[in-house]
Amino acid sequence: MNSLSGRTAIAGIGATEFSKESGRTELQLAAEAVHNALDDAGLNPADVDGMVTFTQDANQEIAVARETGIGDLSFFSRVEYGGGAACGTVMHAAMAVATGAATTVVCYRAFNERSGRRFGQPNAGLGGEPSSLGVEMSWHVPYGLMTPAAWVAMFARRYMHVYGATSEDFGRVAVAMRKHASTNPAAWFHNRPITLDDHQRSKWIVEPLHLLDCCQESDGAVALVVTSTDRARDLRRSPAVITAAAQGSATGQMMMTSFYRDDMTGLPEMGVVAGKLWSMSGLTPADIQTTILYDHFTPFVLCQLEELGFCPKGEAKDYIADAAIELGGRLPVNPNGGQLGEAYIHGMNGIAEAVRQLRGTAANQIPDTRNVVITAGTGVPTSGLILTTD
């Protein structure tokens, strides 16, 4: 990817309204987001010749193409590992454009998570699937450890034990995200901030995780248009240049249950991604004005700050003190409210927010934003991006 750095850009972003019950099919949501992204870029469906989505998306590329009027496709791809795919979709699109496999690629993610398939519900069948994942899960699921919240709670408890983090430290992340969402009109929790006391009084989901440590469930869709940087300069919006993109898995990796590593307090797969992003871009954490971190559960926001090098291992609780990750702080995190506050669209809405920050059009605009680092789902094989101004 080093030779591809800077050669591609995100030229258009589009989304549906984020809701708890859309009343529409996932295909309808995907089509609306794609139309909006193309309109944002000033392109027509006929200009698209590639599509990338998540393996978990219910909509086949050909179905979305038919629904939106997109014709022939010369490239299509699907990226694995749930939310870990978010930045990976952009990476696949960028590689396709830079190598000539396609000229313009749409990345999309759509689902009715709240009104349809609810990702956070227990699934006893996970431990019985005749697959490598089924074998992994058979060590945990039969004993009741069967939800993402429960899996992350195991990591969180160990992190607290080793580094002295507290539930209040996790709560500071939730408070910051809801504060940002409260001033973002597109956010589900617009005008609904919370206090640290609200966080502490919210019900337990799996100790040490409260309800307000867990992201929301959303209906909606987001789409992104990736093309060459040269072409993007001639389109409707200023380009968000893809300066670095990476995917990563680490030694002993499992699907959110990597409990057998010697150190169970970090996210080494994010460390793999971080190393690639910094080396590829030539940037350092000091060059970043704002970050978009995958905030499906608050403890993993702390771990990501450490893996990305914004602070040493175990010191994120101190790093975020005194509103450091809030608007006006040393490193504003998720100015849109993230998945805790805006919507949970598997991280794709975070990429759209990064583009808005670089364009200078965000609801909670961070002054003089030139470089943004973005992460995808954590606890799983993951991906990341650095987007910059042209």
| Residues recognised as catalytic | 294, 344
Residues 300, 379 contacting (CB under 8 angstroms): yes
Cα 199–chain centre separation: 23
- Cis (ω within 30 of 0) for the bond into 381? no
Pick from 249, 297, 256, 285: which is nearest to 270 by CA? 249
Report in angstroms the alpha-carbon separations of 145 from 81, 121, 136, 257: 19, 12, 12, 10
Q: How many CB atoms lie within 10 A of CB 197?
A: 11
Q: Which helix (H) or strand (E) holds 294?
A: none
Phi, psi values for residue 248, rounded to 5°: -155, 145
Virtual CA dihedral for 263, 299, 57, 351, nearest 10 degrees?
-110
Cα 75–chain centre separation: 23
Q: How many CB atoms lie within 10 A of CB 236?
A: 12
| 214 DSSP 8-state letter | B
Residues 271, 251 contacting (CB under 8 angstroms): no
Size (the chain), residues:
390
Q: Which helix (H) or strand (E) holds 80?
A: none
Query: DSSP alpha helices (H): ranges in the chain?
Result: 26-41, 61-68, 86-98, 132-137, 148-163, 167-182, 196-201, 229-232, 268-281, 298-307, 316-319, 338-341, 348-359
Which pair of tokens denotes residue 327? 């608007």
> 3-state class of 224 per DSSP?
strand
